[in-house]
Chains A and B, each alone.
Chain A
Amino acid sequence: MAWQWFHRLGSPRWFYQKTGAWLPWLALASVILLTVGSVWGLGFAPQDAKQGNSYRIIYIHVPASFLALAGYYIMAISGAIGLIWKMKLSFAVMRAAAPIGAVLTVIALFTGAVWGKPTWGTYWVWDARITSMLILLFLYIGVIALARAFSREQVADKACALLALVGTVNIPIIYKSVDWWFTLHQPATIKLTQSSSIDPSMFYPLLTMIIGFYCMYAWSLIAHTRTLVLQREWRTQWVQQELSGMETQGKGGK
């Protein structure tokens, strides 16, 4: 019986009906956490001794970077679950995770560039972390492009899952090699001011933002997956019922 929930999760219908109730709560939690975190971080956290106010972009940059990387693993793991247990739902999660992760990677790169201008004096540096993030973006784009290339969804799902898994094996190697490459080429003019310890007055708003980003990620992943589930299962009876239910509700509202 311990596996029952796992088998249930394989049913798109169960997922769709169960998660509908979670969405408003997740949305509420992320709005509250992100509002509190950004007001706290941008308005009330103390200035950085070296960077002044410009460091405050950390409150968006760091959570986005966290989730950009975590999102790749979420995508790859759900792809693996789909390949192993032939679960339709987990392929939908994988496909939904790809564009979200790519957007988060772009946000991380963009905020990094904006932060780099006042701190390093230039928008783009071939720093190890930036370069790794750029390659991560290419990995995401590869998965998205591969998904679009196939006309049959089932084949696209499996191919993307395999590519995501191959990417997962490679990510640690890529990170290590880029690190090594950077230490070899390190330009002398740029110094990364990465303090090992961060003051609690700066850390708590950051933590709030990170949790808020996780909530937002979960919200958008579930919302996107639900849309994909509806698209894929639109022929089934339960989707027809759901949709007609929505229509009558909409009419009643007017």
Chain B
Amino acid sequence: MSSAESLSMAGRNHGGPSLAALLRVELLLALRKRADIANPLLFFVTVLALLPLGVGPEPDLLARLAPGMIWVMALLATLLSQESLFRSDFEDGSLEQQALSSQPLYFAVLIKAAVHWLVTGLPLALLSPMLGLMLNLPAAGYFCLLVSLLLGTASMSLIGAVGAALTVALRRPGLLLALIVMPLYVPVLIFGTGAVQAAIDGYVFGPQLAILAALLAAAAALAPLAAAGAIRISLDN
């Protein structure tokens, strides 16, 4: 079922879909695609399992690499899953319907990014302590790793939505999407790994987390705006 059909079912009684209905529909659609939820997580775990095979199993070395590697892999997993963010809605025309509807496209994008985070970023963050354990992450880093990933993956879902919207009309956007979105992820990555490293070294990590939260606030305000504009451009194609 496409979002448009489900939307009309969910919203018929209220004379138009409310945001809550849109959220419910998007979540339902996302949860039905089990493979799309599992794949980023499996990618995350598999690539991180390759790391010790590549650099060797010395616990000290792995402990030094752990925060950065977990963050970079979470970034890649988010990025790779983002390609399909608007894909099916674009192909069956429901994206066009949403662009035409009286509901602002801004909120539709915000909700899609939020759902993307719920099914990708949230599980990635929840899984990260286990991977920290496997990579011998020092004990002081776990809490900060979890919180920084919760905040950071949400920002990345929002920023990536802009790239996904820009490339949705292209046939094979995968690598191009990575090319245009990755430089925009840099601040999130820097403050995310910085926070975890500070926590491990025994410094305060509150400021870095606060900056991550500020980046998330800015991304939540601005990224859907840019993504909505990008969707309108892509629909022109």
Contact = CB atoms under 8 A, between A and B. Distances in A.
Interface of A: 135, 138-139, 141-143, 145-146, 149-150, 152, 154-155, 158-159, 162-163, 165-167, 169-170, 173-174, 176-178, 180-181, 184
Contacts, number: 75
Interface of B: 162, 166-167, 169-170, 173, 176, 179-180, 182-184, 186-187, 190-191, 194, 197, 215, 222, 226, 229-230, 233-234, 236-237
Of listed A135, A166, A167, residue having the most chain B CB within 10 A: A166
Nearest to A173: B187
A174 B237 contact: no
B236 to A, nearest CB: 6
B179 A138 contact: yes
A180 B190 contact: yes
A184 to B, nearest CB: 6
13 contacts: A135-B183, A142-B179, A145-B179, A149-B167, A149-B170, A154-B236, A155-B234, A155-B236, A158-B233, A177-B191, A178-B190, A180-B191, A181-B190
Contacts of B167: 146, 149
Contacts of A139: 183
Q: Which 5 A-B pairs rank lowest in CB-CB distance, beginning with the nearest?
A: A142-B180, A177-B187, A138-B183, A158-B233, A181-B190
A138 B181 CA distance: 10
A135 B176 CA distance: 16
A167 B179 CA distance: 13
B97 to A, nearest CB: 20
Contacts of A162: 162, 166, 226, 229-230, 233
Contacts of A138: 179, 182-183
B45 to A, nearest CB: 27
Contact of B194 (A142, A158, A184): A184
Nearest to B184: A170
Given A155-B233, A167-B184, A177-B187, A146 B166 contact: yes
**By CB atoms of chain A within 10 A, which of B162, B190, B191 has the most?**
B190
Interface SS, B side: helix
Chain A at the B interface: SS class: helix
B180 A146 contact: yes
Contacts of B176: 145-146, 149
A23 to B, nearest CB: 33
Contacts of A135: 183, 186
Given A141-B179, A146-B166, A159-B166, A166 B237 contact: no
Contacts of B186: 135, 174, 177-178
Given A146-B176, A149-B167, A158 B190 contact: no
A166 B162 contact: yes
Nearest to B175: A145
A163 B184 CA distance: 10
Nearest to A140: B183
A177 B190 contact: yes
A179 to B, nearest CB: 10
A150 B222 CA distance: 25
Nearest to A146: B180
B236 A158 contact: yes
A169 B183 contact: no
A178 B186 CA distance: 8
B187 A145 contact: no
Nearest to A182: B190
A173 B186 CA distance: 9
Contacts of B166: 146, 159, 162-163
A158 to B, nearest CB: 4
Contacts of A149: 167, 170, 173, 176
Given A150-B170, A162-B230, A177-B191, A167 B222 contact: no
Given A150-B170, A163-B180, 15 more contacts: A135-B183, A138-B182, A139-B183, A145-B179, A146-B180, A149-B167, A149-B173, A149-B176, A155-B237, A162-B162, A163-B166, A166-B226, A169-B222, A173-B215, A180-B190
Contacts of A166: 162, 184, 226
B237 A152 contact: yes
A162 B166 CA distance: 9
A207 to B, nearest CB: 32
A76 B76 CA distance: 27
